[in-house]
Amino acid sequence: MNNEPHIASAFDRDLEAIQAMIVRMAGLVETSLLQAAEALETRDEELADTVREGDKVIDDLELQINTEAARMIALRAPAASDLRTALSVIKIAASLERCGDYTKNLAKRSNVLAQLSPVGGSTRSIRRIAKAVQLQLAGAIDAYIKRDYDMAVEVRNRDKDIDQMYNALFREFLTHMMEDPRNITACMHLHFIAKNIERLGDHATGIAEQVIYLITGHLPEESRPKGSLPSSATKK
Amino acid sequence: MNNMIFLERNVEVEKNKISAQGVQVFYGENHALKDVNVDILDKTVTAFIGPSGCGKSTFLRCLNRMNDTIAGCRIVGDIRLDGEDIYEAAVDPVQLRAKVGMVFQKPNPFPKSIYDNVAYGPKIHGLSRSKAELDEIVETSLRRAALWNEVKDRLHAGATGLSGGQQQRLCIARAIATGPEVLLMDEPCSALDPIATAQVEQLIDELRSRYSVVIVTHSMQQAARVSQRTAFFHMGNLVEYGETGHIFTNPSDPRTESYITGRIG
């Protein structure tokens, strides 16, 4: 990677500005993920509503990033690592926008769940996986800003831990539903929440892969380590 | 990913036209070019890029022995055109330059008619036996240079009355009238407006089906647009040579990266 400044310093300012928007967007997604998980556990409908409304800001930021990136490609004709930066901000912004949608959905379901009777300690487990995914996202963005290859690889490899947490939750919900069919509605919602958080983790992995592309010019070739599906989830 | 390469990027003939080995150039004490090794492909546009004074024009001028005319210039190494050493004593530089044509930065038509500009080379090299044959060479050359339709009704008007872009295409027609195999272009568009530049670039792309074209350009975007191979020169060294798309998306050498992203002058 190249850390020398450009001869045209305005180009450096543009690149920095657009990446600062990515950091801001990621920060908003992380906060809304943690808040949504908190709202779920504490049955705080007001907090959940804040998260739902906050998604608009995340969507607007994506639009703004895409506009700025298109402008930079048109005006500066970036090449090599600069071009990869321009392409990566577009992809990362799209990922983060999707993550924002997941947290919004989490908040929506949390308000539904607030009306139902609680199911064991499930919401605490959800909050734990949400925290783990938030750290993954923060790690991926950190690796992005520092252009740190090793850190990006680490994030990518840690995704299997998230998968394992999700699988454990899956089994937990299944147990609750078998124990008492009255738990089914709540557990279905909880399962969607868990699945969406797990997907959010996949987006963090995708961002880490973008970092690897940005640094090396290639996407990682070897497949990343994956946890196996829970045995009860595989088809007979 | 290899099967995804766009067709037009494919180089049709993977055959070397010019092969340079260990080329060094000295202007007196000044070591202008240090050990350049490069194989230039036939029927391919090769772009030389690099900051001023990097040696790209010096190397271009070695390819048709234009440096012979510079006092105090010494060339070491081996340059072969189709396997023949062009610096061998038996080689006539005038004949060589008929095979390796050149187009310069500023359009430089002779102060003669359009027709005479194109006919000049074939005449002095004795390439035509009759007026009819010469007429045909002039027409074909002007057609290949994408100028025929614009000038066919005023072939005997003065060439200096043409626009800059037309003059440059006339110079290209003049260069291809002697039936060259290689065309060297030193900044052929730097004196032209964007439309004339686009026309010349389109022409370069068409010429590639017949000739090996080597272009020196300061415009990296132009190199990216017209060439299939790019060579980056820096301080007398050939730093990197490879497929143009690769050079502009993921160059191997940090100096190439710095240059194409606008970090060193």
Q: Does residue B246 sit at the A interface (CB-CB below 8 Å)?
A: no
Which pLDDT score, from 0 to 100, does residue B9 have?
Answer: 58
What span, in angstroms and rounded, lies between the C-alpha atoms of B158 and B117?
Answer: 9
Which pLDDT score, from 0 to 100, does residue A160 have?
Answer: 96
Q: Which domains can be identified in chain A, with CATH numbers?
A: 9-219 (1.20.58.220)
Residue A234 banded pLDDT, cuts 50, 70, 90: very low
Radius of gyration (Cα) for chain A, nearest Å? 19
Distances in Å between the alpha carbon of B264 and those of A8, A189, B50, B186, B233? Answer: 10, 56, 10, 22, 13
Report the CATH number of the B15-260 domain.
Answer: 3.40.50.300
Which pLDDT score, from 0 to 100, does residue B6 have?
Answer: 54
Strand B212-216 to B182-186 pairing: parallel
- Percent helix, percent strand, percent coil in chain B, to nearest 5: 40, 25, 35
Residue A235 banded pLDDT, cuts 50, 70, 90: very low
* pLDDT surpasses 80 at B170: yes
Other CB atoms within 10 A of residue B3 CB: 4
Q: Does residue A74 sit at the B interface (CB-CB below 8 Å)?
A: no
Mean pLDDT score, B63-86:
92
What span, in angstroms and rounded, lies between the C-alpha atoms of B96 and B104?
Answer: 17
Of B220, B250, B263, the CB nearest to A2: B263
Mean pLDDT score, B188-193:
88
Cross-strand bridge partners of residue B22: none
Pick from A115, A105, A232, A107: nearest CA to A177? A232
B8's CB contacts (< 8 A; 6+ apart) are none
Which pLDDT score, from 0 to 100, does residue A210 have?
Answer: 96
Mean pLDDT score, B186-210:
90
Domain ranges of chain B: 15-260
Count each helix (H run) and each strand (E run) in chain B, helices first.
10, 10
Query: Which chain B residues are within 8 Å of A14, Cβ to Cβ?
Result: none
Query: Which chain A residues are within 8 Å of B258, Cβ to Cβ?
Result: 2, 4
**Mutant choice from B220, B221, B261 vs A, greatest count of A C-beta within 10 A:** B261
Could you give the percent of chain A with pLDDT greater than 90? 82
| Chain A residue nearest residue B249, CA to CA | A80
What span, in angstroms and rounded, lies between the C-alpha atoms of B86 and B78?
Answer: 8
Of residues B263 and A158, which shows the higher confidence score? A158
Mean pLDDT score, B87-98:
91
Residue B99 banded pLDDT, cuts 50, 70, 90: very high
* pLDDT surpasses 50 at B2: no
Using the beta-carbon criterion (under 8 Å), do B265 and A217 form an inter-chain contact? Answer: no
Q: How many Å lie between the alpha carbon of B256 and the closest alpha carbon of chain A?
A: 9
Which pLDDT score, from 0 to 100, does residue B15 have?
Answer: 85
Using the beta-carbon criterion (under 8 Å), do B224 and A81 form an inter-chain contact? Answer: no
* pLDDT surpasses 60 at A101: yes
Longest dimension (CA), chain B: 57
